[in-house]
Chain A
Amino acid sequence: MQNSFFNRGFQRKRPAPTGHVLPPGQYETQDFPVLSAGPTPRIKPAQWSFGLTGLVQTPQQWNWQQFNHLPQQDFTVDIHCVTQWSKFGTVWRGVSLDTLLDAAQPTAEASHLMAHCYGGYTTNLPLTDLRDGKAFIGLLYDGQPLAPEHGGPARLVVPHLYFWKSAKWIQRLELLSEDAPGFWERAGYSMYGDPWKEQRYRDDDEDLAAQAP
């Protein structure tokens, strides 16, 4: 911070995590906290389907069986929640967004996405943030099927952004030609959510706007 204020007698109590770097304002946790705004949607795999719609040349729709036949990869990633916890080295298996977007072929106008979820949750992302191995649809966590309270049977995982962007109970990605706020973004949270720039709330996006080309 800019001024010289400090809290007398306050000092770091937890050892700095070894081999990892925490984004500003975060602390490390070993467990896996659950945060969501309402009851947990309980979607049976047989009821689940996932689609890519909007500005794509070939809209896609997969049922659970079809989706599980797509190529899957293992991902070990650090995750950072806007409520200040970070968790290092989480292990996932899922389908890369590159695989899914290649199938749908976004049109030239497509620049952003809205993630739509079972239960009505939404969150927005720039298209480039889902490309080049940066994002996936997670199916297994720690070798087990993803639990309902963590977004099972499938969730979006975008580890380089605050974890509210990693939408649980994912149902559909809608490709759009411009950015639009989702559920938490309409409630005052950042439009982008970069943990390293500490973009927690809309006010924190000012430096993002300043850096825009």
Chain B
Amino acid sequence: MSGLAWQLGTVVAITPETPRAKTFTLRLPHWQQHRAGQHYTLRLTAPDGYQAQRSYSIASPPEQTGEVAFTVELIDEGEVSGYLFEGVQLGDQLEVRGPIGGYFAWDATPQAGPLLLVAGGSGIVPLMCMLRHRQRSGLRNPTVLLYSSRTPEEVIYQQELTAMAQADPSFSLQQTFTRQLPAGWAGYQRRLDEAMLGEVLGLLPAAPQCFICGPTGLVESAASTLAGPLGLPASAIHTERFGPSGT
């Protein structure tokens, strides 16, 4: 299988998402269809041969053929994210291999049942890939995204998510803010807890497949609450942890 060979992608778009998140779109010579939720490994090589690798979730849907987009959060002192933010321009080449990962992945099949997506911070990225995949597939399976952000400024894909929710009654966007609220905000304003997870679960007509991505504390808390007091089977809960050390 040549899917995991290193290849040189060309940067064809750089889109600022927030002050600390940018989307890099790469055109790939050997594009291979991914599953929503999978990731690529990116490798940087210095002129002296030093190399650094990091894994980045795919933001673009599998329907966006020939290219992949990664939304990268700038990490303080981040060796790779720092270079991507400061050193990469349109037309540059970046070395990647993928797609990788088979467990944290969702396929928009006509049989797809209810879906509960829980994101913290940049953990939204693989979940956005799933939402875009679902939208491009024309699915209307009941879907809820619960997205926790510290501040409105840090919300990635806000406009697209809002538009998606307005256009599709089967998709419910639920947001919570933990440090600073949007003007006039009447929604959740606390960390995820059992009451909140119970409420969003109640928006779905049946037990969902659940994908949770974010910092370790949020993922641990949400997964154990959903599997414990809220009674979802552990096999229906898929987790992926993001953080300065994991990305």
Contacts and interface: CB of A to CB of B under 8 A. Distances in A.
A107 B95 CA distance: 47
Nearest to A14: B79
Contact of A9 (B3, B83, B103, B226): B83
B5 interface: yes
Interface in A168-187: 183-184, 186-187
Given A25-B43, A38-B237, A40-B223, A33 B51 contact: no
Q: Is the interface of A mostly helix, strand, loop or mixed?
A: loop
Interface in B86-113: 87, 92-95, 100-104
B226 A12 contact: no
Contacts of B5: 203
A187 B46 CA distance: 31
A14 B77 CA distance: 8
A8 B87 contact: yes
A6 B46 contact: yes
A163 interface: no
A83 B234 CA distance: 23
Contact of A36 (B51, B94, B101, B239): B239
Interface residues of B, number: 50
B241 interface: yes
A210 interface: no
Contacts of A25: 43, 51-53
A9 B246 CA distance: 24
A39 B237 contact: yes
Interface in A1-28: 1, 5-14, 24-25, 27
B19 to A, nearest CB: 21
Interface string B34-70: 0000000101111111111111000000000000000
B30 interface: no
B238 interface: yes
B206 to A, nearest CB: 19
A34 interface: yes
A74 interface: no
A10 B45 CA distance: 7
29 contacts: A1-B51, A5-B8, A5-B45, A5-B95, A7-B45, A7-B46, A7-B92, A7-B94, A7-B95, A8-B92, A10-B47, A11-B46, A11-B47, A12-B50, A13-B83, A25-B52, A25-B53, A33-B243, A37-B238, A39-B226, A39-B227, A41-B234, A84-B53, A184-B103, A200-B41, A201-B4, A203-B2, A203-B3, A203-B5
6 shortest interchain CB distances as A-B pairs: A187-B102, A39-B223, A39-B227, A13-B79, A33-B245, A203-B4
Interface of A: 1, 5-14, 24-25, 27, 29, 31, 33-42, 83-85, 119-120, 149, 183-184, 186-188, 200-204
